[in-house]
Amino acid sequence: MTDTQLIELESQCRIFLESLNASDVAHDLNHILRVVKVAKQLAIEERAELAVVVPAAWLHDCVNLPKNHPQRHLASQLAGDKAIEFLRSIDYPSEYYAGIHHAICAHSFSAQIAPESIEAKIVQDADRLDALGAVGVARCMQVSGSLNRALYSLDDPFCETRTPDDANYSIDHFYKKLFRITETLQTASAQQEGKRREVFMGIFLNELSREI
């Protein structure tokens, strides 16, 4: 696809997403824009097909269910279906549908679908990187606030002697999930960026420890 065609696609995707009025602040348009930006960078570095990566990155959360929703594990498959329905409506080339659908389905932790293409790996990596670094800390706090979690355990804030319990404590989510993300990243480019973002998160926790 030409650069002009991709620009037009992105414009149509943005209009479509804005029409959905998503209410999840951690998966809003700002999240989408960051994922798209990183996915494009990874696609160039990994020589992947932009005609698959770009629409999949834009549409990966077009159906999003809260983390405590009983059908959370189905959200990415529902998003994949809805994305293809939208792409058909704008006459996007059908030869990319299968790749896009798979990339969207495989991006989610809860779906537990292994990415089989480099494009799917890139979309998954870009989405997971957005849970790390400064923006990852901010998103963790946004989600925790919406779920009414305490910031940390008074008895053991940093899970030194207990099993992390992120259903009740925000900081526990670092130890239960966030610090394990980099090891799940699929591409070398994403792994390097993940390690860099982990360093900041460690600095944040060290400063929090000092302050409390």
Structure confidence at residue 67 as a pLDDT band (50, 70, 90)? low
- Domains detected in the chain: 1-117 (1.10.3210.50), 131-212 (1.10.3210.50)
- DSSP 8-state symbol, 182: G
Tallying the residues shown for the chain, one arrives at 212
Q: What share of the chain is helix, strand, coil (3-state, %, to 5)?
A: 65, 0, 35
Tens digits of per-residue pLDDT, 6-37? 899 999 999 999 988 766 776 789 999 999 99
| pTM, two decimal places | 0.90
Do 128 and 184 touch, CB atoms closer than 8 A?
A: yes
Residue 102's identity, in one-letter code, is H
- The per-residue pLDDT for range 70-90, each reduced to its tens digit, is 566 678 889 999 999 999 999
Taking only the tens place, the pLDDT of each residue in 90-133 is: 999 999 999 999 999 999 877 778 899 999 999 999 999 999 99
Tokens 């414009």 belong to residue: 11
